[in-house]
Amino acid sequence: MNGNEKNSLLTRRHVLKASVVSTAAAATMPALAFNLNPDGPTTPEPTCGTLTVNQTEGPYFTPGSPQKTNIREAGYEGTLLVVRGKVMAGCDPVANALLDFWQADGDGEYDNEGYRFRGHQYTNAEGVFYLETIVPGLYPGRTRHIHVKVQKPNGRVLTTQLYFPWESGNSRDFIYDSTLLLEISEEEGVQVGEIDFVLA
């Protein structure tokens, strides 16, 4: 892969397929509009899949991340990774769902003062999201993972983590859940992890 290819993983095909962030979405839903205090318990709606598991937020979430689909950082090495999929509720894709991703860099370190390897985005009309990043390094005591918060418009917040199937540390990690494994393939020399989020 040459330097120009590394500057952007978004080929024409990827752009047409993803179309994640729209001006309309940004205008209709303010950034990080998480509804953290919904009124009363809710009953899960019927879904076409198992509801995505909630997991601990961890101590490193920072609100107010920039809106972008590419959270890679210049000067930080790592294996290129695309994470993509859909946000679903019931049997229907969720348009304008908010996703806020954060992760460690290639050395397993989090940026707790700025927004390196952090960013939020909105799904397109088909509920599709598309993230460009790197495979995170190992944070001490944990298996390899990516954090994310997901919220449909005016809905409850799902906080969860994503895992890698090849990681030997999965079996020793006290938070790991196999239902949150990315389905990994390779396209054009880039690792691609696919997963759908199913919300109540």
pLDDT at 60: 87
pLDDT at 9: 52
C-alpha–C-alpha distance, residues 9 and 103, integer Å: 19
Task: Say how many C-beta atoms besides its own lie within 10 A of residue 171's C-beta.
Answer: 9
Q: Residue 112: what pLDDT?
A: 94
pLDDT value, residue 59 = 78
What confidence score (pLDDT) does residue 88 get? 98
- pLDDT of 126 reads 98
The reported pTM is: 0.78
Q: Is the CATH number of domain 3-199 2.60.130.10?
A: yes
Quote the pLDDT of residue 138: 97
Residues of the chain with pLDDT under 50: 2-7, 10-47
| Cβ-Cβ contacts under 8 Å for 62 (sequence gap 6 or more) | 102, 112, 115, 118
Greatest Cα pair distance in the chain = 53
Sort strands 190-194 and 183-187 into parallel, antiparallel or unpaired.
antiparallel
CA dihedral over 151, 152, 153, 157, signed as positive or negative: negative
Residue-wise pLDDT tens digits, 91-130 = 899 999 999 999 999 999 999 999 999 999 999 999 999 9
> What pLDDT score was predicted for residue 67?
99
